[in-house]
Amino acid sequence: MGRLWLLLAVWCSGVFELKLQEFLNKKGVTGNSNCCPGGSAHPGGNQQCECKTFFRVCLKHYQANVSPEPPCTYGGAVTPVLGSNSFQVPETNADSFTNPIRFSFGFTWPGTFSLIIEALHTDSLDDLATDNPERLISRITTQRHLTVGEEWSKDMQTAGRTELRYSYRFLCDEHYYGDGCSVFCRPRDDAFGHFTCGERGEIICNSGWKGQYCTEPICLPGCDEEHGFCEKPGECKCRVGFSGRYCDDCIRYPGCLHGTCQQPWQCNCQEGWGGLFCNQDLNYCTHHKPCLNGATCTNTGQGSYTCSCPPGFSGASCEIQANECSGSPCRNGGSCTDDNNGYKCTCPLGYYGNNCELSANTCADGPCFNDGRCVDNPEGGYFCQCPMGYAGFNCEKKIDYCSSNPCLNGAECVDLVNSYLCRCPEGFSGPNCEDSSSISGFCYSLPCQNGGTCQEAVNSYTCNCPPGYIGKNCSSPVSRCSHNPCHNGATCHERGGRYVCACVPGYGGHNCQFMLPEAPRRQPVVDGPDRRYSSTEMGMAEESEEDNDGFPWTAVCAGVFLVLVMLIGCSVLVVYIRIKLQERHSHHSDSVHSDKKKGFKPRYPSVEYNLVHELRPDDLSMCKEEAHDEPEAKCEVLDESDTEEGYRKRQNSNASEKKLCSTDSKYQSVYVMSDQKDECIIATEVSTQTEIGHNRYVICISLSLTNSE
């Protein structure tokens, strides 16, 4: 059976729906007017044509001239056999066909399309091939503009002897909106948004939410926008430092009692209060009225006050009723009587006044003591003018200036007639011994030893000791072992101003800080500053340390030994090289002597170049043969001004010439051997006779000799 094939997109924004409604093919013929085989015989003898009809649908982009050829850019579908000649297209059938046919879009709907619908015939229900033109019954093509909507657009097309009715529409997929289904909006209510979607795909926030994607909750109305926030609609959470239903109250400083704040953690005191926590009452008198019995209250700040008590009362709040007679105001034996407004003195005979201070006696009675001067009072009685150091009505009291203890720091007070004297202890001075003397004199005797510095103190001194000494007078040296320099259980011993660590077996180093290979048994190891010692070598090591005083003699000796070895080695190498050179020189001398026997003579600077060796006849014959081979025998004659070296340079340009030959008896060869340059000089003596005299020239050629050993 045939199947419905659709070109579908996985992600889509809309769907094109095509509903096939009715197809009419009254004759039952194909597009080429051939009868569809498979019909029954007619009673009149004619064959009844019956087609097995299926459809091919191709949805393409808008084309002015619609081409039925692929590709179907928007999608294509092939239906199963849906009927014979004329039939109503069902909504479904047994071959999973659904009507309408749906074409999903994964992009914005362009608004236009081209549609090709072909009706085809098949002989077999399983053969739904569409490429055979013989099967084509009819083909309709159309191009349209289509807007997005629920409403169906109906159409009817005729082609040949067929007629097809169909309808179509374009619907946006779920969560897609707009004219081209290009607006995506999916309602959600989670951490990423709280909204629904409108008809055009616009976001509509749920109640209590705001923002572009409705992620911001709407707080409680009145909640302070700066100091409050919310995580869900209708709440108002306060930020740090603020409180209240609407988070508009700042939090005062902890412990603030009578204060307010404009910003968090402030404590601005209210009127009448002070202090860090506004807990000090600055207007205590008004708030508490502490003074009693008609006393006057005065604020003194910081929660304190004073009471001015009326006569007859005392105490901090004037709560104590005073006994005016308690202070014995009446003098000269008068009796005191307390009353509400004060007291009253009953004076004895001969005295009068409020306190019985006036005497009825006169100066004639001589009432003044201690040389006091008596003066009569015009109002009655007398009064005494006391000398310095005395007081009293009759100058009967001696004034004690030491009664107030004016002398300080344990000084002794001596009462004088009209003053006092303080005897200061050592280290103090001043009228009242209030000044401490900065110099006590203890450092005059230089008590600090070993370079310590003395510093005066009150009745004492202090020594600032140099490093290495302690004690009151810097007399005690610091022990070298006091700071525990030895490690790993070693014992510290002092040796001549230094310390030596007696290491336990297995450790070494100046402070026994290194772990060493296990020492031989029965030999405890003591590690000194320069080497490790066994118990048998302890005494010798200590004496060596005292003598050497830590100088690294071992390292110095090792260095000297290495230098001597290097010098000896260099001497041996030089001697070896000189022996080799002498052997080579002697071998060369032997070679030169052997050459002398053959007719060669070594050339020395002292040897003259006019030594001549006569050529033998066979030598001349050899030269004659060479003259026949060469076209011309060339001999060169040196000027008197030419030197041997110039001639050598010219001869280098003609390396092929090894010697000069001549058949003339005037030319004689001379062979000279050089000992210094290993070369042979072939010289030719030339004799010429002129009218002036006889001249002799020597022509030399230098040949290198190879000394093969």
* Structure confidence by residue, pLDDT tens digits, 444-492: 778 898 888 887 766 678 898 988 788 888 988 887 787 788 988 899 9
Q: Which amino acid is at 41?
A: A
CATH dotted code for 479-554: 2.10.25.10
Low-confidence ranges of the chain (pLDDT < 70): 1-12, 38-47, 94, 302-303, 340-341, 349-350, 360, 379-380, 437-441, 457-459, 497, 518-551, 587-709
Exposed, middle or buried, 59 (CB in 10 Å: 0-12/13-18/19+)?
Answer: buried
- Measured CA angle at 696 (ends 693, 702), to 5 deg: 165
Candidates 2.10.25.10, 1.10.10.10, 3.40.50.1000, 3.40.50.2300; correct CATH number of 445-476? 2.10.25.10
Per DSSP, the three-state class of 624 is helix
- Give tens-digit pLDDT for 550-604: 567 888 899 999 999 999 999 999 999 999 998 887 765 665 455 444 444 444 4
CA distance 272 to 287: 9
Q: Are 276 and 268 in contact (CB under 8 A)?
A: no
Per DSSP, the three-state class of 72 is coil
Q: How many CA atoms lie within 13 A of 271 on its CB side?
A: 1
For 554, the token pair is 């071992």
> pTM of the full predicted structure?
0.36
Are the folds of 5-39+48-177 and 445-476 the same?
no
Q: Are 54 and 67 in contact (CB under 8 A)?
A: no
pLDDT for 437 equals 62
Where are the chain's structural domains?
Answer: 5-39+48-177, 445-476, 479-554, 590-704
pLDDT for 620 equals 39
388 CB-near residues (< 8 Å, 6+ apart): 417, 418
pLDDT for 440 equals 59
Cite the beta strand spans of 32-135 per DSSP E. Answer: 53-60, 75-78, 87-88, 101-105, 112-121
591 CB-near residues (< 8 Å, 6+ apart): 707
466-485 burial, b for 16+ CB within 10 Å, e for fewer? Answer: eeebeeebbeeeeebeeeee
Exposed, middle or buried, 392 (CB in 10 Å: 0-12/13-18/19+)?
Answer: middle
pLDDT for 285 equals 86
pLDDT for 630 equals 40
Exposed, middle or buried, 307 (CB in 10 Å: 0-12/13-18/19+)?
Answer: buried
Token pair 């009151």: residue:
472
pLDDT for 610 equals 39
pLDDT for 272 equals 80
CATH dotted code for 5-39+48-177: 2.60.40.3510
CA distance 338 to 326: 9
pLDDT for 564 equals 94
pLDDT for 380 equals 67
82 CB-near residues (< 8 Å, 6+ apart): 20, 23, 53, 54, 55, 89, 90, 93, 97
pLDDT for 495 equals 78
- Measured CA angle at 618 (ends 614, 620), to 5 deg: 65
Q: Are 83 and 137 in contact (CB under 8 A)?
A: no
